[in-house]
Chains A and B, each alone.
Chain A
Amino acid sequence: MSGQADTRSASPGAEIAPRCRLSARINIRLLVLLAPISLLIALFLILPIAIMFNRALTGEDVIAAYVEVLRSPVYTTVFLTTLKISALTTIITLLLGYPVAFALRFGRPRYRAIVLMLIVLPYWLDFIVRSYSWMILLGRKGIVNELLIWIGVIDRPVKLLYSLGSVVTGMVQIMLPMMILTLFAAMLRIDARLMDAASIHGASRWRSFARVFLPLSLPGVYGASLLVFVTALGFYITPALLGGTSETMISQSMLLLASELLDWKTASIAGTLLLFVTSILVLVYNRLFSIDRLWGGS
């Protein structure tokens, strides 16, 4: 973008040899740069999905099959559970993540570096390992039960695992770094001079937060929440390990249908619905923020 603007100003008086210009028109160079990755995504993401849906969803009884899936209490329950767990995860990560991102935004550089490092660290650990650690902690003989008994809240171990609580706990732990980092990146873009202006004009800290910082941070809040929500929709490992039958999420149903019941048709129908919701959210995200933001566009 800026590369085009300063092609000339960079070397006043001297015309840069045409081959050295960075702002080539739409040409072969662009094609060479973009074709390989586009081909990969087209061939190994778009085409397979198109083939799968096309195969599963052609035929006379497609409408009937959709109606059957949508009317079956099993699948509607799974869909609703998926939405519920994803929404809960998003809300809790947001409530925990916002203050942390805020502290990072206004912390001193050293504080910022250390906290960031500790937040990113668990991001590198396998989902399986992180979910597994909750199995240890929340089990009947786990440390949480022992602690509750020791404090005297309960007098014998209670069932903590295989519940909505344990699934959401596990998913919140996994998604928190993503939420915090995305919020933090958005908060960095808020110009600190605006808060200066507010306080010069007599606003208290609270008032300048509520009237200046908070509203300006809202786009980041929406963006981060959308990203976390969409990722949560596709979760498989955590609900499978930490949830009971009533916490079954859509990915689990699809995997069961496809690999054990060999019912690819129903699995694909569930898949189109999942993909539909995901795509809408991705489009909304791209519309609102444009993923330019991901590489530091302002």
Chain B
Amino acid sequence: MGTYKITFSMNLLVGLVLFFLLFPVLVVVAISFSSAEFLTFPPPGLSLRWYEEIFSSYDWVNAFWITIKVGLLTALISVVLGVPAAFAIIRHSFFGKDMFNALILAALITPPIIKAMSIYLFYVELGLNNTIFGLALAHTVSGVPFVVINTAASLKSYDVNLERAACVHGASPLRSVLVITLPVIWAGVLVGAVFAFMQSAQELIVSIFVLGTVNRPLAVKLWEGVQVSTDPSIAAASTVLIGVAILSFLMVVLIKRRDGSLAP
């Protein structure tokens, strides 16, 4: 009682939406194994030639490493800055908290083109253009909200008495947080870090402006590829990305399952 029944037509709609969301992805994966030089679906035959092409290309491999470096750095800085902020938000009430919340939201959804243009001009002065570190800092602005949000959500359901107990028994406040609290909420922190990494890996416009076209991370390389080439090597590169995405996704699901909550 009280809850509603899920009707057949509603299930049909859910199925159609899932199909709409997932089918295009399957198409890319299928085409990456195509033996044809052009994009046709279904592919006329199977081959791994496009994978050989990207893995033997210095450009693609290099792009992959740049993305990993920038992404890991982004995730790391986001955790270092975001976790303390989550503690402040959940545990304290302070003057200007609403404004601080709005700031986090602004960092998340300021249009990428505005971030890109302004950070480029700013970096010209600082000499940070064309540096991995500069790009990672710019990406951290968009990545850190994910760490704050996920850590705060974990902290919210955490029993503070555990930490108090440690503290009462003589541990310093910092030590109680590091030894008792962090191991309990690490899942939320890690999920936030994975989100920050993915956000960095997928970001295009800021990367174009900050790194120029000398150093290309994967997103920029893909972007250039999509515009000029009509062969399936882009599909192969995309499939590698899909693989990475699915792996990190499974990681998140496993972490959340261990953590006992499946909802994102």
> Which A residues are closer than 8 A to B by beta carbons?
1, 3-4, 10-11, 16-17, 19-20, 22-24, 26, 30, 32-34, 36-38, 40-41, 44-45, 47-49, 51-52, 55, 96-97, 99-100, 102-103, 106-107, 112-113, 115-122, 124-137, 139, 141-143, 173, 176-177, 181, 185, 188, 192-200, 205, 209, 213, 227, 230-231, 233-234, 236-237, 241, 250-251, 254-255, 258-259, 264, 267-268, 271, 274-275, 278-279, 282-283, 285-286, 290-292, 294-297
Contacts and interface: CB of A to CB of B under 8 A. Distances in A.
A16 B114 contact: no
B61 interface: no
Contacts of B235: 132, 136
A133 B23 CA distance: 9
14 contacts: A23-B92, A33-B92, A48-B118, A97-B17, A120-B249, A122-B22, A126-B222, A129-B28, A131-B226, A132-B226, A192-B3, A275-B114, A278-B111, A296-B152
Contact of A34 (B31, B77, B88, B140): B88
Interface in B234-264: 234-235, 238, 241-242, 245-246, 248-249, 253, 262-264
Contact of B17 (A30, A100, A251, A267): A100
Given A48-B119, A118-B18, A130-B24, A103 B6 contact: yes
A257 to B, nearest CB: 10
B141 A234 contact: no
Nearest to B147: A37
Contact of B94 (A26, A44, A102, A181): A26
A116 B253 CA distance: 11
Nearest to B238: A129
Contact of B110 (A24, A198, A275): A275
A195 B2 CA distance: 4
A116 B262 contact: yes
A45 B3 CA distance: 45
B27 A20 contact: no
A16 B168 contact: yes
Nearest to B205: A236
A123 to B, nearest CB: 8
Interface in B116-169: 117-119, 121-122, 137-138, 140-141, 144, 148-149, 152-153, 156-157, 160-161, 163-164, 167-168
A285 B105 contact: yes
Contacts of A118: 18, 21-22
A15 to B, nearest CB: 10
A11 B262 CA distance: 33
A107 B6 contact: yes
Given A34-B100, A126-B241, A40 B117 contact: no
B41 A255 contact: no
Determine which residue in B14, B103, B115, B241 has the highest number of CB atoms from chain A within 10 A of its CB, and name it: B14
A192 B2 contact: yes
Interface on chain A toward B: helix, strand, loop, or mixed SS?
A: helix
Contacts of A267: 117
A205 B249 CA distance: 37
Nearest to B171: A20
Contacts of B110: 45, 49, 234, 275, 278
A20 B223 contact: no
B58 interface: no
A138 B136 CA distance: 36
Given A118-B18, A129-B28, A181-B264, A234 B10 contact: no
B19 to A, nearest CB: 10
A119 B94 CA distance: 37
Contacts of A181: 264
Contacts of B248: 124
B85 A1 contact: no
A272 B233 CA distance: 39
A121 B164 CA distance: 39
A282 B102 contact: yes
Contact of B24 (A34, A44, A47, A173): A173
Contacts of A275: 110-111, 114
Contacts of A130: 24-25
A135 B27 CA distance: 11
Given A20-B173, A121-B22, A236-B205, A205 B85 contact: no
A230 B109 contact: yes
Nearest to A172: B20
